[in-house]
Structures are given as C-alpha cells and as structure tokens.
Chain A
C-alpha cells in the first residue's frame, strides 16, 4: 500500500467519491421537532473530507467467538473494519453476559462508519457517543470500545507504526508490567506459586475473597475473609505485590471492617470494596482504611470516572479497554487520573484484542502501574488458542512484563478463518449467586 497516496490532501474529492454500496447518510428523516434543526449536507465526516485521508471504511463485520472450556458468560465480541486501502482493523467489545447486545449495538453504528475515513478516530468516538443521545452504559461503551480499537488498529497500520508510538511510548522497551491470578488457596499451593513466580520473574498476583457477603456480616465470615488474605500473604511471601479483589461482594460497612484488618499486610490494593454506583460510599471506605483502593472496571468514558478523581477517592483506577470506550477513552481517563497522581491498573478479563490494545496505552501513559490479563502462571486453554490465532503467545509475561507488539497498529494479524474453529455459541448470562435465605448476592 502506498501510504502517502492515501494520506496527502484529499482535496474534497472523496466527498463525491463515496464508495458504491455504502448506505446514504443524508436521507431525510423525521424528528420530534423539539430541538433539532435539520442540517444541509455535507455534514459530519463528509465535512472533514478535505482535511482527511483518502482511506475509506468499506465494511464492518462482527464476530461472536466461543472458546470451549473458557468462561461461557464471555464469548468474545470482535469487530473487523475493512478498507479500500487493503488493510483491516480489529477491535474487541466483549461484555460478560451481554454478547448479543454488544454485537447488535456495534451494528447500530454501521451507518456512522461505512464510507467514512477511518483516520479521525476522535471525531467518530464523539459522534458515536454524543449522537447516541442517552450517553453510554456498559453495552454501548463496549460497542464504542470495539470500534475505537479497530479504528486505532487501522490508524497504526495506515501510518506504519505500532499504536504506542503514536501515543508517545514506550515507557519501557522491555514491555508492560503485569500480574496473574493467584489460583491457589492452601499454604502449600501458594508456596509453589511463589517459587514459579521467582523463576518466571513475576512480581505481582491478585487474589479474591471467599464467600458472599450480606449488607452486614457475622463475625465468622469476617474472620474467614481475613484469614484467607493472611494466607495469601503468608504463602506468597513479603516480596511479591498482592492485590485483593473484593469484586463488590461486600457492602461499604463490611468492606471497611475487613480492610482495617488487612492494612497490616500492605497489599498493593483492595479492589472494588463496594459496588460502583455510589462514589461517596466508596469514599467512606477509603477514608477509614490505609490500604490503597482500586476501582473502575465497570465505568464508561472519562465522564464515568470524573467524580472518583475529583473527590480524590481512590489511589488506582482500573477502567477496562473493552468497556471504557477503547484507546481514546482509556488515554483520557489516564490523563484525568494523572493530574491527581492516581495510578492506572487497567482491568482486562475478556479476549486478547482488548488486552493487546491495553498494552499500547499502558506503554505510553505516565501513571501506569500494572496490567491485568486474568491469566495464570501456568498457561490455560485460552492461551493456546490465542497463540494459534496470532502466532505469538499473547499476554504471556517474560520477566514479569508483557512484551510489546512490534508490528504496526495493535500489532497482530488475525484472519476470519482462524476464528471459524470457535463458532459463537450464543450469549450466556453471568453466574447468578444467592445467599442461604434465597436473596440475591453480589459476586
């Protein structure tokens, strides 16, 4: 592909040269007459044609991908944008329990993108977000994330550089610091994990809490929770960083009581000590304990984290590449957090495209702490599949760091053919858990 041919002054010619077959974007439509002024063409992306590139998006394809043996609630949601420049961009919008909704939502954005220049990613992001009127929740956030990643993948491929170089990175040419799940509960298993960490150069693990918690808890369950985390520290030793994910299973009242006892263990963080809707409730926990608090995986856009940052509630923000709004939004969240000296430890527990996309942001933001991948010290089924798809062991750490992709764009090649072995088995809900009395529990 001749890059310069596609990038230098389009001079407005493309507005007329919209590709055959693209849906018309200026069809008259009815509106409610409450506020909207009809606009004459050209508008939107067409108005940018004279200052844009000659590349055009020719097709948008969505893929549901189910890997047998992987968690059934999160079949991967992938999107592929094809162009007239011979390059395609991939993105991911996997959302646990809502694969069908995200696939449909991505398709709702077809008209925004087909026939458009893929380069102005900020414009497309704003248009998808603002023109959806109701603002984004997790379904739309995940759909925008998928498309944003695919647009960045295209941008990098068209410009001939990995995305992290467009963002000013890398911070560290050896890669991005990460952590695995501490999939061990007994002291003996944890000690074995500590040894394999030492041999692999792993520097951090994350564990969780046992049980489910009611709004107020009994002394027995509180003691069990504390003992569980103490065992983690005892087994993994004093030199590894340990994060503990409360997964919003606890109320603010119960969380604060437990964390008070964990302060002495000097954890890297306690994650989601309560559900995410109420920032002041989270703040009340953070105020009363010493352990750093992390949260944010369920939040969408920089709008979603504004209150957390402005009230200086947490030490670490964990927005997820696949839900927050892709690279564009994750970078902005990091910028917002950075001015308050809040660190970034992006959440990732879905498929490999979003994770690889995360590495590009991680490698270029000043306040990066560590990247999740939900992997384990011993490779799992999914790791084998990912290697089969990409030809390299995606999200496997070397000396405690995920190596940075060197290829342009997000840094991988993926074929539709490779995905065919893993057909979509449909949406599955996330696990539903209940207390002993039958009432609904958080997990």
Chain B
C-alpha cells in the first residue's frame, strides 16, 4: 500500500505573478506554490497562460512536492511552465528537508559560480559603457553581441565590425576580462564559420549561437572548420538536440535555457554532455528567482562552467531584481556569484515587491 501523503509536502495551491522590469521591459512570471501545512515554494518562468495554470493546478492536487517526475509526464503544458513549477517544487523540498537545493541534488560541487554578464546595448559605445558598469560591479566575463549589419551575407564588413567591437571592449574592460561573442542565431553558417576562423586566436571563451539550428550539418560546419569553441542551445526545445550536437562534435558549450527546461531537465542535459567532456553554461534571461535556481543547479553539476545573468543597464531594473529576492542574489565578486545560503532556493521572495511590480492585465 502506498504511504499516505505527507501534509508538509502535499501541494495545495499555485499562484502566479507576472512581473516586468520598468526600463528593460524584461518580463517573467513568478510562481508561488503552497503546501497543506509545510513550506511555501517559489519558482519562475517566462510566461504561463490561464489554460496552463489551470492544468498545473489540477496536476499538483494529491501530490507531494517531491514527485516532480510523475507530474512532468502527466501534464501537457509548455516546457517553460513546467520549468517554473520544477523550481518551486525543489524550493519546497529544500525547505522541508532544511537543506539548500544543491544539497538535495547531490551538491555542492563548488563553493561559488562563475558569472557571465549579458550586456545590453546596440552600439559599440553603449556596450563599452555597459561593460564598464558591469566590470565595476564585479563582473569579469561578458556576453557581447555581434554587430549586426542587417544584410543577409556580410563577409568583410562583419569581420571588421566584430574585430573593432572586440578590440574596443577588450581595452575598456581591462586585464582579466573574458568574452563570449553572441550571434544570437543571427548569422548564416558561412558567415559564422568565417568569423569563427578569424577569431581562432582571440581566445574568446566561446562563440555563442553562431547560426540558427535549422539543421545539424550547418552547425557542424562551424565547429568542424576551426578551433574557436562554439556554444549552442538557447532555442533548443528538446534535450535530443543537444545529443545530436554532441555526437556530431558540433558543440563545445551546451546552453540549455533554464527558463525553458527547468533545473531537473538541465541536469539531464548536463549528464548527456558529461561523457563528451563538454561544459554546460545554462542560458538565462529571466529574473532573479531563476538566478537563485541557476546557482543551486551550478553547485550540483560536475561540468558547469559559467552562469549567464542578465545585467540590466538601468539601476532601476537592477533594484527591482534585488528587491524581489529579498537579498542580492546576483551580486558578483571578482567574477563569481556566491551560492545562496539557507534552505530551498536560498531566497525569501518579497511578496510586497511582487505585488508592486506585478504586470496588470491590459
């Protein structure tokens, strides 16, 4: 006979709070998961539709917050909504056991997590200014966009513009800085490969999302023609995409989107990458609750390299992120994020801040 449900783990209510940063307009949804008589958990995802919320609410009834695997398979909602619920469930399990989520998951594997600041800005000047700010705030690694010329094929224009941008940010960021060049899937495989070849000896951390992952042979071409490490995966919806990239030697850094896959599924992607000696650097362009989850994840993985965190240019946006988690979870010291201390995700979500930044229905 199955054991009766533990009321301290039994999930009873799920609420969502869509919020939006005032200046960057970056939006994300915070989930609040209540248990019958145990802790409250928080999670985060990009967005949840009313239908998905209804499906998730039905799915959690009569289940314990630890039983993520069975819920994941039973509920036909978008991966992102499930990712948010996954974080909230792990938060509950951690709080129930009195342990940080990384301990629930078998960590710590490290005592801090290297940070990658995603830099806002379109022009070289804006990017240089933003990097200066992020550097002063403790960041040492920066995700810099490729200059886009809005032409389909670029050749020398692209190469020159990229070189100029990298030269400028390198001299602005000073010694000890590292860079990821981000094409955000905006180049053709041919242009991406030419650019990667030119940058072989620039010793970037890696070249991120050089071209769209429309087919595997295009992706293979880039990694196959030069030694610049290549990252892929922020748009990948299925873990199988990572396996195909890995078994075709097409990727050096796997970049599953934490907000799309959730902690548990990103752990699976990491497990797939490990026997290829390939690092994982989860993509993350959401809010600070997901950052806390990302840090818990980082401290549970053997092959983690760096965690991307948004670095909004506006102080107002950064203030909102700090207020939501009740603690500066995104504070960076000499290039590293500290692991949150305390049980669960290690943050105390500020419900009045949630209400304040809540996005009203138009």
**Contact of A51 with B267 in the complex, beta carbons under 8 Å:** no
Q: Does residue B76 face the partner (Cβ distance < 8 Å to A)?
A: no
The secondary-structure label for the interface of chain A is: helix
Q: Does residue B98 face the partner (Cβ distance < 8 Å to A)?
A: yes
Bound-complex Cα distance A441 to B73 (A): 45
**Contact of A167 with B69 in the complex, beta carbons under 8 Å:** yes
| B35 nearest CB across to chain A (Å) | 14
Question: Which residues of B are in contact with A by a Cβ distance under 8 Å?
Answer: 2-3, 64, 66-70, 72-73, 93, 96-100, 102-111, 238-240, 242-243, 246-247, 264, 267-268, 271-272, 274-276, 299-302, 339, 341-343
Residue ID in chain A nearest B86 by CB atoms: A168
| A330 nearest CB across to chain B (Å) | 11
A340 — which chain B residues lie within 8 A by C-beta? 240, 243
Cβ-neighbour of B2 out of A119, A174, A365 (below 8 A): A174
Instruction: Give residues 293-332 of A contacting B (CB, 8 Å).
Output: 301-303, 305-306, 309-310, 328, 331-332
**Contact of A166 with B66 in the complex, beta carbons under 8 Å:** yes
Please, could you name 23 A-B residue pairs with CB atoms under 8 Å apart, sorted by A? A3-B97, A7-B97, A7-B103, A8-B343, A48-B111, A52-B108, A53-B99, A53-B103, A119-B103, A122-B105, A122-B106, A126-B302, A166-B93, A166-B104, A167-B69, A168-B68, A173-B2, A335-B267, A335-B272, A336-B272, A338-B239, A339-B238, A406-B3
Bound-complex Cα distance A123 to B304 (A): 12
Bound-complex Cα distance A159 to B98 (A): 7
Chain A, residues 11-36, CB within 8 Å of chain B (1/0): the string is 00000000000000000000000000
**Contact of B275 with A306 in the complex, beta carbons under 8 Å:** yes
A7 with B108, Cβ < 8 A, contacts A339-B240, A365-B69, A366-B73 known: no
Cβ-neighbour of B274 out of A169, A172, A332, A338 (below 8 A): A332
**Contact of B109 with A339 in the complex, beta carbons under 8 Å:** no
B97 — which chain A residues lie within 8 A by C-beta? 3, 7, 159-161
**Number of chain A residues whose Cβ lies closer than 8 Å to a Cβ of chain B:** 51
B300 — which chain A residues lie within 8 A by C-beta? 122
B64 — which chain A residues lie within 8 A by C-beta? 165
A364 with B274, Cβ < 8 A, contacts A8-B98, A159-B99, A328-B106 known: no
Cβ-neighbour of A165 out of B66, B103, B264, B301 (below 8 A): B66
Residue ID in chain B nearest A310 by CB atoms: B247
**Contact of B268 with A338 in the complex, beta carbons under 8 Å:** yes
B3 — which chain A residues lie within 8 A by C-beta? 173, 406
**Contact of A339 with B272 in the complex, beta carbons under 8 Å:** yes
A48 with B272, Cβ < 8 A, contacts A53-B103, A159-B99, A340-B243 known: no
**Contact of B67 with A170 in the complex, beta carbons under 8 Å:** yes
Question: Which residues of A are in contact with B by a Cβ distance under 8 Å?
Answer: 3-4, 7-9, 47-48, 50-53, 119-123, 125-126, 155, 159-161, 165-174, 301-303, 305-306, 309-310, 328, 331-332, 335-336, 338-340, 364-366, 406
Cβ-neighbour of A339 out of B66, B68, B243, B339 (below 8 A): B243
Bound-complex Cα distance A170 to B100 (A): 21
Bound-complex Cα distance A406 to B6 (A): 12
Cβ-neighbour of B271 out of A50, A52, A335, A364 (below 8 A): A335
A50 with B242, Cβ < 8 A, contacts A119-B103, A121-B106, A166-B66 known: no
12 extra interface residue pairs, beta carbon distance < 8 Å, beyond A51-B341, A173-B3, A339-B242: A9-B342, A48-B110, A53-B103, A126-B302, A159-B104, A160-B97, A161-B93, A166-B93, A173-B2, A336-B275, A339-B240, A366-B72
**Contact of A4 with B69 in the complex, beta carbons under 8 Å:** no
B272 — which chain A residues lie within 8 A by C-beta? 335-336, 339
Bound-complex Cα distance A310 to B93 (A): 34
A328 — which chain B residues lie within 8 A by C-beta? 106
**Contact of B70 with A169 in the complex, beta carbons under 8 Å:** yes
Residue ID in chain B nearest A4 by CB atoms: B98
**Contact of B109 with A123 in the complex, beta carbons under 8 Å:** yes
**Contact of B275 with A120 in the complex, beta carbons under 8 Å:** no
| A356 nearest CB across to chain B (Å) | 16
Cβ-neighbour of A302 out of B66, B100, B242, B274 (below 8 A): B274
For the complex of A and B, 4 pairs with smallest distance between CB atoms: A173-B2, A165-B66, A168-B69, A159-B97
| B333 nearest CB across to chain A (Å) | 14
B264 — which chain A residues lie within 8 A by C-beta? 168
**Contact of A171 with B69 in the complex, beta carbons under 8 Å:** yes
A335 — which chain B residues lie within 8 A by C-beta? 267-268, 271-272
| B81 nearest CB across to chain A (Å) | 17
Bound-complex Cα distance A366 to B339 (A): 30
**Contact of B111 with A120 in the complex, beta carbons under 8 Å:** no
| A312 nearest CB across to chain B (Å) | 9
| B279 nearest CB across to chain A (Å) | 14
Bound-complex Cα distance A68 to B247 (A): 48
**Contact of B66 with A168 in the complex, beta carbons under 8 Å:** yes
**Contact of B239 with A339 in the complex, beta carbons under 8 Å:** yes
**Contact of A51 with B299 in the complex, beta carbons under 8 Å:** yes
A120 with B271, Cβ < 8 A, contacts A7-B99, A7-B343 known: no
**Contact of B67 with A168 in the complex, beta carbons under 8 Å:** yes
**Contact of A169 with B69 in the complex, beta carbons under 8 Å:** yes
**Contact of B108 with A48 in the complex, beta carbons under 8 Å:** yes
| A398 nearest CB across to chain B (Å) | 9
Cβ-neighbour of B109 out of A122, A159, A338 (below 8 A): A122
| B91 nearest CB across to chain A (Å) | 14
Residue ID in chain A nearest B65 by CB atoms: A165
Residue ID in chain B nearest A3 by CB atoms: B98
B102 — which chain A residues lie within 8 A by C-beta? 51
| A396 nearest CB across to chain B (Å) | 15
A338 — which chain B residues lie within 8 A by C-beta? 239, 268
Bound-complex Cα distance A125 to B339 (A): 21
**Contact of B67 with A169 in the complex, beta carbons under 8 Å:** yes
Bound-complex Cα distance A173 to B4 (A): 10
Bound-complex Cα distance A284 to B65 (A): 45
Residue ID in chain A nearest B66 by CB atoms: A165
Residue ID in chain A nearest B73 by CB atoms: A366
